Amino acid sequence: MRFTGRRGGASSGPYRSLNLDSWGDDDPQAVRDNRTVLAGYADVGPERIAQARQVHATDVLQIADDADLPGADLGRVRDADGTATALPRTPCVVLCADCVPVALVAGRGVAMVHAGWRGLAAGVLESGLRALDAVCSGSGPVTAAIGPSAGPCCYEVGDEVHAALAGTGSSAASAPRVGGHADLWAAARARLRAAGVEHVLTAGECTICAPDDYFSYRRDAGTTGRQAGMAWLR
């Protein structure tokens, strides 16, 4: 798996430089070049990227064969907040700029899930685990990795977000509230552990406090790029 930052790409201005969002306002050729860089990390071409258009809901697509592949690079658009596959050389990708990219890795399958506070509260991680199980049933325990995203240091939210996250996991205490700040990483860990995932890694990198390293929708008031979470089988 790999979580990207903003360095090492072809885009400029607010999208400097490894912006991977095909549906934004960045220069399309720069984004294509950047997506070739992304796919290259998995040693494939961008047409192999399994990525849906994210809608802050809970569907996670099962990619059972090449005909299921969604992706901007193929001109195929499907709405979902993650993908799961047991196909080799088919990287599952989500894009984020503060929301939480979560990789789920089992013995013979992988999934990537896009989890903002709405998705976390609605059960997108559990949906990702079900999709992963469906594509590679019985392939052993799942390891999860929580990528760079809005951290508890910076993620100040209103009461409705605290209320939604307090309903996640086994108890309100599982999504700690630090003043007006919410802890999406703790909320994600609580949901994963409640679903039986014992091994959860957390990058602990906050996108909002690292302007040289990460895109942040909140810090940049919406005009910014997107970094990726990517999980794949060789």
The residues binding Zn ion (CB under 5 A) are 151, 153-154, 206, 208-209
**Whole-number Å distance between alpha carbons of 71 and 112:** 14
CA distance 234 to 230: 13
Of the pair 16, 219, the CB lying nearest Zn ion is at 219
* Distance of closest approach, residue 144 Cβ to Zn ion, in angstroms: 21
The Cβ of residue 83 has, within 10 Å, a number of other Cβ atoms equal to 32
Report the alpha-carbon distance of residue 189 to residue 202 in Å, rounded. Answer: 9
Question: Residue 153 or residue 173: which is nearer to Zn ion going by CB?
Answer: 153
CB of 101 to Zn ion, least distance (A): 16
- CB-wise, 154 or 194, nearer to Zn ion? 154
The angle formed by the CA atoms of residues 17, 22 and 24, to the nearest 5 degrees, is 80
Distance of closest approach, residue 228 Cβ to Zn ion, in angstroms: 20
Amino acid symbol at 182: A
Measured from the CB of residue 209, what is the shortest distance to Zn ion in angstroms?
Answer: 3
The span from the CA of 173 to the CA of 168, in Å, is 10
Please identify, using beta-carbon distances, which residue of 57 and 209 lies nearer to Zn ion.
Answer: 209
